[in-house]
Chain A
């Protein structure tokens, strides 16, 4: 299973599944992260965590353990 934390900076992925539950899952949905959503890995913070992702025209920072709960397939192509 590939998860969002494995997506290299500058690459785009499509969300396949959310593995978080409860409040964390709700949070992801509210940030616009659903199966089928396109996510672009834009920048890594100096310490490598969190990573800023371009999601539905917004730039969202996710921690590694949050990104690890998001199953993806990597795609060719650019942002958004």
Chain B
């Protein structure tokens, strides 16, 4: 098991290096001179030259990349052009609200999505299935920003049950996590259903029924465990969807997270912040996928011995 984990971890290194290189090159792909961007629009030529030297932008590209990578490994992403504070401080303040928002969304959407999927598969082509799958296809078709606006209008503005913006108490998490998780719940429901429909036709399910087990036991013990295998893989992919989706949802709810920070940074062309955030978002995603792969190997022993 440990060997498998280490093998997967080492396999990530080339991807991580390439991601890092792309994020590093990002500054040089930006139209215009990064030194001028950093110095501000009113700076004269000498100031720009000074800033260029200060940021090391006059050095050869390879040296710059080494410096960038060294900085990243020490958690140093440079300073924000807008606030002049270290990017790592800026991001650290915004990390947890986004993290908890995605975790909360993931938790409810997996539970609800799988429940809908199982119910739909067990009562296939009957009314619970039709209701469940209509909900699911609507869920993947409704854009999150529109859903967020609708939920906010109804539950925060009209009814006044929940707060509109901010991230102070658990009550603040309800609407944003509902908004963010809706599409994932819908995808999980569709995926669980199709996985379950396949499993319910397997011979061992027929055997379980034939030996007189209660249908509940057949579905939960024999069906669920086997249907979970592809569903877990899907969860990893969906986490990426949530991380990306949080960017849009945070704008709707004015959430003090990394997504909101990223949108502001792109607006202000604050490239060190953009670099740091893009890198962090991808790192988080890559590591979540690693964890999912390992979980997958725990559930399904066949994988480990390949």
Interaction A to B: no
